[in-house]
Amino acid sequence: MSFELIKNIDYSIFRFINQTISNPVFDFLLPILRDAPNWIPLYIFLGIYLLKKYKLTSWKYAVYLLIAFALADSISYHIFKPWICRLRPCHSTTLHARLLLGHCGGKWSFPSSHASNHMAIALNIVLAGIFTKKWMNYLWIFWALSIGFAQVYVGVHYPFDIAAGFALGIIIACFNYKLILPFLNKLHIKLTGNNS
């Protein structure tokens, strides 16, 4: 498959999401959905849940999730974006993207930091079994996927930017779960003398 064909597929999917299926409901909801500050109440809920359920152990899950976010954000934004240098669709002079935000965001598009950050957090929550109910796990993954979709809909990312961001988030989540969480568990036992 040639690079030109991949690019054309990416553009076609972008136009379908950004323009073909556009509607007033999505135009209202999706800019709100992809705006990170709007999720602050969710993060507060997560912090309260961790404190209530895990008590003295809650710190290790908080650190675990913060590390997932920090790795995803720094690797996507500081390493891949300036290395690959793909312009956002809203900066394109030929694509005529429908921009639903007051700004286009940063210059570079690939991979999506929103997609990598939210997938890393969501998958780390699922892998660690922080929530015991299955439907909660599905909800966290749906949350990450919907934010990725919203990024394309509002015109700031291509679909392949989102797919790459999700892939990066999954890799970071697996690394974090396999290496960082066991380290934090051992540190917790060392500091407290128990493995609860």
Span 121-143, pLDDT tens digits = 999 999 999 999 999 999 999 99
Residue 188's pLDDT is what?
82
Q: Which of 163, 77, 71, 169 is nearest to 116 (CA)?
A: 169
pLDDT in tens, 147-166: 999 999 999 999 999 999 99
Where the chain has pLDDT below 50, the residues are none
Residue 62's pLDDT is what?
95
Residue 196's pLDDT is what?
55
Map out the domains of the chain as residue ranges: 3-192
Place of tokens 């922080």: 130
Residue 105's pLDDT is what?
82
147 contacts 166 by C-beta, under 8 angstroms: no
Q: How far apart are CA 119 and CA 135, in angstroms?
A: 17
Residue 58's pLDDT is what?
93
Q: How far apart are CA 149 and CA 17, in angstroms?
A: 8
Q: How far apart are CA 42 and CA 68, in angstroms?
A: 17
Place of tokens 């568990």: 185
125 contacts 137 by C-beta, under 8 angstroms: yes
| pLDDT above 70: percentage of residues in the chain | 98
Residue 192's pLDDT is what?
79
115 contacts 72 by C-beta, under 8 angstroms: no
Residue 114's pLDDT is what?
94
59 contacts 190 by C-beta, under 8 angstroms: no
Q: How far apart are CA 144 and CA 123, in angstroms?
A: 9
Residue 195's pLDDT is what?
61
